[in-house]
Structure 1
Amino acid sequence: MSDLEWIVKVPEVKHFTFDKIPDLTGKVAVVTGGNNGIGYTTCRELARQNAHVFVLSRTVEKGQAAVEKIKSETGNQNVEFLKLDLKSLKSVHECAESFLARNLPLHILINNAGVTTSKFSLTEEGIQEEFGVNHVGHFLFTNLLLEKIKASQPARIVNLSSHAHKLVEGENFFEKLNDPAQGPGARYSLSKLANVLFTTELNKRYLKETKVYANSVHPGVINTNMLTRNHFSAPDMFFTNSISPEDGVITTLYCATSPEIEQKNYRAKYFEPFGNECESSTYAQDEDLAKRFWEYTEKLINEKFPQK
């Protein structure tokens, strides 16, 4: 698939906007990568509607600064910081334990954080970085919080994927994960495919008989630092088609807050701007592949970070 083929045309009419976010008083939300970019804007808008928001970030100073800024901008003082480094499965465990120790419900989990690197690199446990941060860390974090989320239902889980998941071609997915010859775009795209497959299998295994609604989203090509750090070879049209962080959070907030999600029983669906249900790739719709990715990830975590 060429760069031009995967550019998403931004709809002129927005299906969802900030003013459609309902009052979230009494709701508790956790957002990974919440200190900057679309993560920050997501946290801010949830707080603006009175949610109790936890901003998760690997950098203490930046995370705490984001918390204070959100409090100032929204007037909502129920905004807190938790340290989460998705490059470390130990940190993932510690963050989950810190949240659970608060004995709060959890109504909204937004797995927003993401990374793309110019060179093949590894996490603390030796997992390929894009796959480790974008998928494995969020997989573990979600599963550690899952019983709390189910106990808090109705609840939402939003996994940020990307239209780039449609760039994945060929087979031998698991061999490619650890192949240094794979380029930045290929590594990122495969991690984003994993996000969609995770959402599918999570729903199938644990959420069918619950009021927990898990969906994946492509937020859009966002004009943030991550866009400038991406190493895709892309034409000018790619960048002129980018959208602001304000618009980039709309689809996430739709899945996290809109009453339509429950009314229409949206489960394991894939959404693109602005809150529109879209078709994911053929691979992303492969339920057997979703099962294999789940089992692969579980085995990987058990090998790299065994628990007593």
Structure 2
Amino acid sequence: MAALKYAGLDDTDSEDEMPPGWEERSTKDGWVYYANHLDEKTQWEHPKTGKRKRIAGDLPYGWEQETDENGQIYFVDHLNQRTTYLDPRLAFTVEDQPTKMNTRQKYDGNTTAMEILQGCDLSGKVVIVTGANTGIGFETARSLALHGTLVILACRNLQKGNEAKHKILEEWHKAKVEVMSLDLASLRSVQSFAEAFKSRNLALHVLICNAAYLGGPWQLTEDGLEMTFQVNHLGHFYLVSLLQDVLQRSIPSRVVVVSSESHRFTEIKDSSGKLDLNLLSPLKKDYWAMLAYNRSKLCNILFSKELNRRLSPHGVTSNAVHPGNMMYSSIHRNWWGYTLLFALVRPFTKSMQQGASTSVYCAVSPELEGLGGMYFNNCCRCLPSQEAQREETAAALWELSERLIQERVGSQSK
């Protein structure tokens, strides 16, 4: 049977390439093993590298795992009406070491968004990017618009949003760029945005949750929640829930949630192990801007993971991304201390184009079609913190988020 080949994953002479007569297979619980058809033997170690690997992630949309009469696992591709004994997830495997990943990617931390999009024609695609008037949000939107996408710049400040739109149009007058008002600190504004977008009867192929708040003084939103938590998590959660039906009508569609490596340095549960709203939305006396940001970024990954679990059976996948270490962007503008820090390290930071690359990669790369629930850094899949991998925490955050919205907007949140 012919091996399954993923678009964008070219054949190479790398050390992972199988020797003649060998085949890569997987067990029911996800471990990879290797069959030698010449000697009729199997082994756990890769015949060239000697490494053990396991499969990462859920089956792509439309695939199902079955067992034949001999007890051998095979896979059914319902969309293309075919079967194979080769696990479609073998393109995304993890070495038997918690922190070292093998994704067979050709991109790295120096890759730009425009390099990823080279040769792509995205005409007919519709993408929403929140916080798209500046920083990596602007570069993400610009890069996609220059390749044919209709990009909706979802911005709190319409004047700055229109300035960003004109910059893109000056570069290519045929670009399809529109600006719509969205203030994630207001659930009412999120609802108005969703209603306005739906009224246009457009498809929605990609929703990029990019906007973020960092470093500002403690303040409550009009909904009575701490600003960082609502802008970075709850506003995006509500936005996705309101546009969920549009995403499902536009399948295959994707959600990209911009998180951060800073998610590793915090937790959101109390001493009893329960989700603590006082940690997520702290009182003024307990507020520390950086810690609030870290917690919101942990929420981003948990949200993306649970969103993918719920919607991937319906053709909507979600992945979380880290844009880059010490990214120099306007997110630092809320406090002079951050401004000074970013100025000192600016020679060692990524450009905005490099920072936008991972968001763009997860938004359009064909090899990720149907794959979600993952976390990417420098365009490569990696493991987030242990806390970010806990399914029970992701489910609890989802339930809490629904309750917070229900309490504030009632039946309109449905």
TM-score norm. by structure 2 comes to 0.67
Structure 2: which 5+ runs fail to align?
1-106, 271-275
In structure 1, distance between residues paired with 2:135 and 2:357: 13
Q: Does 1:261 align with 2:363?
A: no
Aligned residue number for residue 292 of structure 1: 396
Q: The residue matched to 1:35 in structure 2 has which SS?
A: coil
Counterpart residue number, 1:160: 258
Structure-1 residue corresponding to 2:241: 143
Greater helix content? 1
Aligned residue runs from structure 1 range 81-120, under 5 A = 81-120=179-218
Whole-Å separation in 2 of the counterparts to 1:159 and 1:34: 14
Secondary structure of 1:249's partner? helix
Match for residue 250 of structure 1 among 357, 378, 385: 357
Q: State the 4+ residue runs in structure 1 displaced beyond 4 angstroms.
A: 11-17, 230-240
**What secondary structure does 1:271 align onto?**
strand
**Structure of higher RCO (CA pairs closer than 8 Å, 6+ residues apart):** 1
Residue of structure 1 equivalent to 2:408 = 304
Contact 2:209 2:256 in 1 (8 A): yes
State the shift of 1:305 in Å.
Answer: 2.2
What's the C-alpha RMSD, in Å, of the aligned pairs? 2.2
Q: Distance in 2 between matches of 1:59 and 1:297?
A: 26
Report % sequence identity: 37
Q: Pick closer, same or farther for the CA change 1:257–1:235 going to 2, 3 Å.
A: closer
* Structure 2 counterpart of 1:23: 121
1:176 Cα shift? Answer: 1.1
After TM superposition, the structure 1 stretch with the greater mean CA deviation from structure 2, 110-119 or 30-39, is 110-119
How far apart in 1 are the matches of 2:367 and 2:403?
36
**Secondary structure at the counterpart of residue 305 of structure 1:** helix
Query: Of 130, 150, 155, which aligns to 1:32?
Result: 130
Q: 5+ unaligned residues in a row in structure 1: which ranges?
A: 1-10
1:189 and 1:200 mapped to 2: Cα distance?
17
TM-aligned CA deviation for residue 174 of structure 1:
2.5
Any conservation in 1 of the 2:375–2:382 contact (CA below 8 Å)?
yes
Equivalent residues in 2 for 1:176-195, closer than 5 Å:
176-179=279-282, 180=284, 181-195=286-300
Q: Could you say what secondary structure the match of 2:188 adopts?
A: helix
Query: 1:51-87: per-residue Cα shift (whole Å, max 9, x none)?
Result: 0111111111111121122112123342111000011
Separation in 2, partners of 1:236, 1:81: 30
Report if the CA contact (8 A) 1:28-1:108 is conserved.
yes
Equivalence for 1:78: 176
Which has the larger strand fraction?
2
CA contact (8 A) 1:47 1:76 kept: no
Kindly tell me: are residues 186 and 239 of structure 1, through their superposed partners in 2, closer, same or farther at Cα, counting changes over 3 Å? farther
- Whether the aligned pair in 2 keeps the contact of 1:47 and 1:53 (CA below 8 Å) is yes
Structure with max Cα Rg: 2
Shift in Å at residue 235 of structure 1? 9.7
**Alignment size in residue pairs:** 294
Call closer, same or farther: CA 1:62–1:234 in 2, change over 3 Å: closer
